[in-house]
Amino acid sequence: MLTRVKSAVANFMGGIMAGSSGSEHGGGGCGGSDLPLRFPYGRPEFLGLSQDEVECSADHIARPILILKETRRLPWATGYAEVINAGKSTHNEDQASCEVLTVKKKAGAITSTPNRNSAKRRSSLPNGEGLQLKENSESEGVSCHYWSLFDGHAGSGAAVVASRLLQHHVTEQLQDIVEILKNSAVLPPTCLGEEPDHTPANSRTLTRAASLRGGVGAPGSPSTPPTRFFTEKKIPHECLVIGALESAFKEMDLQIERERSSYSISGGCTALIVICLLGKLYVANAGDSRAIIIRNGEIIPMSSEFTPETERQRLQYLAFMQPHLLGNEFTHLEFPRRVQRKELGKKMLYRDFNMTGWAYKTIEDDDLKFPLIYGEGKKARVMATIGVTRGLGDHDLKVHDSNIYIKPFLSSAPEVRVYDLSGYEHGADDVLILATDGLWDVLSNEEVAEAVTQFLPNCDPDDPHRYTLAAQDLVMRARGVLKDRGWRISNDRLGSGDDISVYVIPLIHGNKLS
């Protein structure tokens, strides 16, 4: 036990950290190096880099910032920039993709019946043709824009796979509901195939009491059709889109789990995606990347980070309900510091899954085990191993030198937030910022907003490169300048040594959709 604890402490202090591996085949289990890669490593396709340029970009000393060569490769004149880490891993483990998805109904069938074969995808690459959001009159499909960022750890395999395939899962899930979404005047049916219910909300159903009194329209009455006993929930259309995105993340994670027996899919990744569908932005986040809207100088957060600290109660509750997941090596309780054997029988501050505050408990033998969550801030780890609690992959991740799997504590479920583009007349400097944690580790929301609001007004509003230059500026501010004491940013603070990827998406194009 003491040896295991020492190993866990060593891991926490820097031995094993999420994202520190340079291996593309690591992870053990089914992801062995004897298996082929699912997809070859590369940089985002929309950058249009040659293989030589990809290799040159992997300079951990110079850390060149990559930007779009042609703005027409991305819709809405979206800006993008990225830079590799300062030596943490061989490859840049961030990945990105951006496409225009076309979702079509199933031909020759009722609209409520799923059809996996009728979903089509139109890429925005290698050129920008056909990037306007519109309904396809011939196929009666609906187009939507898709942006994504993936931050890999313990290898880039999962991030590469997710960047290639998650959009297909999104399309498939939306295809099941596209006809319902297009008919925005009618609430989604409770059961697929039912006729739309146009009756007023206050007369849609009878209460159980009224039906038992035998009132008009009661079940069994010959004069009226059968009715439901209880009032139904009214489900808005955007909830169907949220559910589709949540299902897409789940299906992507399950696909990685299945395919790791045939392919080498190293590590795991966080996932942050945005789709623009029927005049609304849907931001889905699983991990510690972040999205914010900057609108007339105002900051509107569009995501939350999922870390061991923010999800402490969920993780502790799972461990409490299923203690076997702890492998008799960890305790689900949290203490201000490690408990020492000499403190047995004393009262110490602790926190359980049902608590946001702290209380005192008498220390017992089980409290000497290593804590499920250890550390603070960016150094907080689950089982002294991983610093993010939501994402894709990590199916083979174990506690160092043990057979304890960490995946049961990790979730692929994203948080989805919705922004109605029609609710505001956006200007040329109103933008949505998407970035991996390499940016947010060193720059606050306020610093990013200040940088953008100072930079964009100095650019020609008709210059299509202005948003790419803004993204480049943010990456430069977070990376900093290499000095004798490492990479430094403003006020001589330590710059980001992590991979950094940034989208700057202008919202003025959303005015045309509302």
What would the DSSP string read from start to end of 332-367?
Answer: S-B-SS---GGGTTSEEEEB-TT-SS-EEEE--GGG
pLDDT digits (tens, 9 = 90+) for 56-67: 999 999 999 999
Annotate 319-339 with DSSP letters as a single string.
HHH-GGGGTTTEES-B-SS--
Instruction: Return the closest-CA partner of residue 436 out of 167, 159, 150.
Output: 150
Cα–Cα distance measured from residue 497 to residue 83, given in angstroms and rounded to the nearest whole number: 10
Per-residue pLDDT of 116-130, as tens digits, reads: 444 444 444 444 433
With tokens 């800006």, the residue in question is: 79
Residue with more model confidence, 5 or 147:
147
Among 127-136, 152-161, 215-224, 441-450, whose mean pLDDT is lowest? 127-136
HSE-up (13 A, CA, CB side) for residue 60: 13
> Of 7-11, 313-317, 401-405, 510-514, which range is least confident?
7-11
**Mean pLDDT (the chain, rounded):** 85
Question: Pick from 42, 18, 22, 25: which is nearest to 265 by CA?
Answer: 25
Distances (CA, A) of 480 to 118, 428, 456: 48, 27, 20
> Could you give the percent of the chain with pLDDT greater than 90?
72
Place of tokens 């979903």: 119
* 297-315: average pLDDT: 97
Give the residue among 233, 213, 272 at the shortest CA–CA distance from 94: 272
Question: What pLDDT, on the 0 to 100 scale, is given for residue 231?
Answer: 81
**Mean pLDDT of the 392-407 span:** 96
CA distance 410 to 243: 19
Name residues whose C-beta falls within 8 Å of residue 154's C-beta, 6 or more positions apart in sequence: 18, 19, 20, 21, 23, 26, 27, 266, 267, 268, 394, 397
pLDDT score at 219: 53
The whole-angstrom separation of Cα 114 and Cα 177 is 8
pLDDT for 228: 58
Query: What's the rounded mean pLDDT across residues 124-139?
Result: 42
What are the tens digits of pLDDT across the range 458-474? 999 889 899 999 999 99
- The structural domains of the chain, with segments of one domain joined by +, span 39-105+142-186+235-303+412-512, 312-387
CATH for the 39-105+142-186+235-303+412-512 domain, from 1.10.10.10, 3.60.40.10, 3.40.50.720, 3.30.565.10: 3.60.40.10
* From 211-215, 389-393, 439-443, the region with the lowest mean pLDDT: 211-215
Residue 475 binned pLDDT confidence (cut-offs 50, 70, 90): very high
Q: Three-state DSSP class for 298?
A: strand
Is residue 372 a contact partner of residue 311, using CB atoms and an 8 Å limit? no
Quick one: average pLDDT of 315-320?
98
> What is the pLDDT, as a whole number, of residue 106?
57
Buried b (16+ CB within 10 A) or exposed e, 316-346: bebbeeeeebbbebbbbbbbeeebeeeeeee
Residue 422's contacts (CB-CB under 8 Å, 6 or more residues apart) are 279, 513, 514
DSSP-derived secondary structure letter, 313: H
pLDDT of 339: 96
pLDDT(45) > 60: yes
- Count other Cβ atoms within 10 Å, centred on residue 33: 11
Q: What is the mean pLDDT of residues 492-504?
A: 97
Per-state percent for the chain, helix, strand, coil, to nearest 5: 30, 20, 45
Of residues 340 and 184, which shows the higher confidence score?
340
Q: Which helix or strand (DSSP H or E) is residue 148 part of?
A: strand 141-153
Taking CA atoms, 202 is separated from 18, 31, 95, 234, 338, in Å, by 53, 56, 50, 12, 58
Q: Does the pLDDT of residue 77 top 60, yes or no?
A: yes
Q: Which of 20-24, 171-175, 376-380, 453-457 has the lowest mean pLDDT?
A: 20-24
Distance CA 403, CA 327 (A): 8
pLDDT band at 194 (very low <50, low <70, confident <90, very high): confident
Decide if pLDDT at 42 tops 90: yes
**pLDDT tens sequence across 328-387:** 999 999 999 999 999 999 999 999 999 999 999 999 999 999 999 999 998 999 999 999
**What element of type H or E holds 467?**
helix 466-479
| CB-based contacts of 178, cutoff 8 Å, min separation 6 | 103, 104, 105, 111, 141, 142
Tokens of 370: 């290593």
- CA 500, 440, 310: angle at the middle one, nearest 5? 125
Is 306 within 8 Å of 388 (Cβ atoms)? yes
Tens digit of each residue's pLDDT (9 = 90 or more) over 218-256? 555 555 555 556 688 899 999 999 999 999 999 999 999
Res 227: pLDDT: 58
